């Protein structure tokens, strides 16, 4: 028993040494997660600002100018042009010079005063319908606010139905708050899969795996010796992303760190299991790389990172149950943003544990049995 532990420790030490000694891998350990978190943190947002819009004001009244001023002052929209011809609308939208055209009719102010419907026409470039929809939503809100003020300032009393909205856990509905905790899982997954995916394949290619198999190491010990350093590395990387999230982006952390790390631990084991299984099945390093990559793609895209799982067809939704990242993102959200405790996480933890158990044992069986 003691000898087994010693052997495992020796292997762990060797793996860590190998990782830390190579300047390239040292580099890829620290820098990419931080860099990626920073860049994607800024990039990955469905929130809009700097939306170019063109104003087509037929009325040119005080009211219309007021409305437009509100739009300008919203912080979201940027007026890029004042149009005066219908044709220009098409040009601007087609050529993507403006995302929206706000067109105010001739009778706008008059209608406002006389209580008749005063319409504001909005034309949006639907090439990215999500963005367009969001922009239109912002505009709606601005118009609503305009309405309320108009009523109040013109004493028309009797406010219309007011719709108040509040968002739980993410009061400003910043996409970033959703994205960055999710990145904790995503970036860690990518790095872990790459690391473990290559480890066995590399040893096989270089011949050191044979040397290892010839020693008294049992396959389960080899497994443990490879998983342990990967878990450590995974924790370090997750911590990096976490630090960036907290210190740079200043997203408040609502839960307990211990819970988060426990959840992460389960996730890492599952990810490592998959990586090691991949590595032991692949014939060459090139293949291992390919497989890992082919897995990373669906894992990251179909995990709820960018598009919600609930929007997927049922079949695919079931498929995501096999995706460890899905659980990781859930865990990250719940602990980071909602602050739930460990008992709430059980429905996420046991599938991860199952995955880990299955893949780790399969991998260790493969060590001896996958041979050329």
Per CB under 8 A, contacts with another protein among 64-103 are: 67, 93-96, 99
Determine if 346 is a binding residue for another protein (CB under 8 A).
Answer: no
Please give the Cα distance from 179 to 308 (Å, whole number).
11
Determine if 250 is a binding residue for another protein (CB under 8 A).
Answer: no
Residue 271: CA atoms inside 13 Å, Cβ hemisphere, count? Answer: 34
Please give the Cα distance from 180 to 158 (Å, whole number).
43
Distance of closest approach, residue 28 Cβ to another protein, in angstroms = 8
Count of CB atoms situated within 10 Å of the CB of 67: 26
Determine if 215 is a binding residue for another protein (CB under 8 A).
Answer: yes
Distance of closest approach, residue 243 Cβ to another protein, in angstroms = 20
- The position carrying tokens 């096999």 is 322
Among 238, 277, 278, 302, binds another protein (CB under 8 A): 302
Determine if 283 is a binding residue for another protein (CB under 8 A).
Answer: no
54: part of which helix (H) or strand (E)? strand 51-57
Determine if 206 is a binding residue for another protein (CB under 8 A).
Answer: yes
Closest to 300 (Cα-Cα) out of 324, 321, 268: 324
Determine if 311 is a binding residue for another protein (CB under 8 A).
Answer: yes
Distance of closest approach, residue 51 Cβ to another protein, in angstroms = 7
| Subset of 315-334 contacting another protein (CB under 8 A) | 316, 333
Considering beta carbons, is residue 300 or 359 the nearer one to another protein? Answer: 300
With beta carbons less than 8 A apart as the criterion, state whether 29 and 236 touch: yes
| Subset of 92-151 contacting another protein (CB under 8 A) | 93-96, 99, 108, 112, 115, 117-134, 136-137, 139-140, 143-144, 146-147, 150-151
Distance of closest approach, residue 82 Cβ to another protein, in angstroms = 19
Determine if 184 is a binding residue for another protein (CB under 8 A).
Answer: no
Instruction: Tell me if residue 48 falls in helix, strand or coil.
Output: coil
Distance of closest approach, residue 356 Cβ to another protein, in angstroms = 24
Considering beta carbons, is residue 167 or 354 the nearer one to another protein? Answer: 167
With beta carbons less than 8 A apart as the criterion, state whether 273 and 223 touch: no
Considering beta carbons, is residue 15 or 272 the nearer one to another protein? Answer: 15
Determine if 252 is a binding residue for another protein (CB under 8 A).
Answer: no
The sign of the dihedral angle between the CA atoms of 276, 279, 285, 291 is negative
What is the number of residues in the chain? 372
Closest to 225 (Cα-Cα) out of 196, 254, 201, 263: 196
| Subset of 9-68 contacting another protein (CB under 8 A) | 9-11, 13-14, 17-18, 21-22, 24, 32, 36, 39-40, 42-52, 67
Instruction: Tell me if residue 53 falls in helix, strand or coil.
Output: strand
Considering beta carbons, is residue 127 or 350 the nearer one to another protein? Answer: 127
Among 74, 246, 256, 306, binds another protein (CB under 8 A): 306
Considering beta carbons, is residue 86 or 157 the nearer one to another protein? Answer: 157
Q: How many residues bind another protein (CB under 8 A)?
A: 125
DSSP conformation letters of 210-279: HHHHHSS--HHHHHHHHHHHHHHHHHHHHHHHHHIIIIIS-PPP-S-HHHHHHHHHHHHHHHHHHHHHHH
Considering beta carbons, is residue 21 or 85 the nearer one to another protein? Answer: 21
Distance of closest approach, residue 277 Cβ to another protein, in angstroms = 20
Please give the Cα distance from 7 to 4 (Å, whole number).
5
């Amino acid at each position: 028993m003691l000898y087994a532990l010693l052997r495992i420790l020796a292997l762990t030490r060797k793996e860590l040494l190998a990782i830390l000694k190579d300047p390239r891998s040292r580099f890829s350990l620290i820098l990419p997660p931080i860099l990626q978190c920073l860049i994607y943190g800024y990039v990955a947002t469905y929130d809009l600002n700097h939306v170019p819009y063109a104003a087509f004001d037929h009325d040119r009244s005080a009211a219309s100018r007021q409305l437009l001023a509100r739009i300008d002052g919203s912080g979201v929209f940027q007026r890029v042009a004042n149009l005066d011809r219908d044709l220009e609308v098409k040009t601007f939208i087609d050529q993507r010079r403006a995302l929206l055209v706000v067109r105010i009719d001739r009778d706008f102010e008059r209608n406002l005063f006389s209580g008749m419907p005063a319409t504001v026409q909005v034309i949006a470039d639907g090439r990215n319908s999500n963005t367009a929809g969001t922009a239109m939503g912002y505009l709606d809100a601005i118009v609503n606010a305009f309405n309320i003020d108009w009523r109040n300032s013109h004493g028309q009393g009797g406010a219309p139905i007011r719709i108040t909205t509040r968002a739980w856990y993410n009061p400003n509905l910043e996409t970033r708050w959703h994205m960055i905790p999710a990145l904790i899982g995503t970036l860690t997954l990518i790095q872990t899969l790459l690391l473990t995916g290559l480890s066995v394949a590399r040893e096989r290619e270089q011949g050191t795996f044979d040397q290892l198999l010839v020693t008294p190491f049992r396959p389960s010990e080899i497994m443990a010796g490879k998983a342990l350093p990967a878990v450590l590395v995974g924790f370090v990387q997750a911590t990096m992303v976490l630090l960036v999230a907290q210190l740079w982006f200043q997203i408040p952390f609502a839960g307990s760190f211990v819970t988060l790390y426990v959840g992460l631990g389960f996730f890492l084991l599952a990810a490592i299991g998959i990586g090691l299984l991949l590595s032991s099945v692949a014939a060459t390093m090139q293949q291992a790389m390919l497989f890992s990559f082919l897995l990373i793609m669906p894992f990251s895209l179909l995990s709820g990172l960018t598009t919600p799982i609930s929007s997927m067809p049922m079949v695919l939704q079931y498929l995501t149950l096999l995706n460890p990242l899905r659980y990781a993102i859930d865990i990250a959200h719940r602990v980071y943003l909602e602050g739930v405790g460990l008992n709430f996480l059980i429905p996420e933890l046991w599938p991860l544990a199952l995955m880990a158990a299955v893949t780790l044992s399969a991998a260790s069986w493969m060590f001896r049995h996958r041979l050329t």
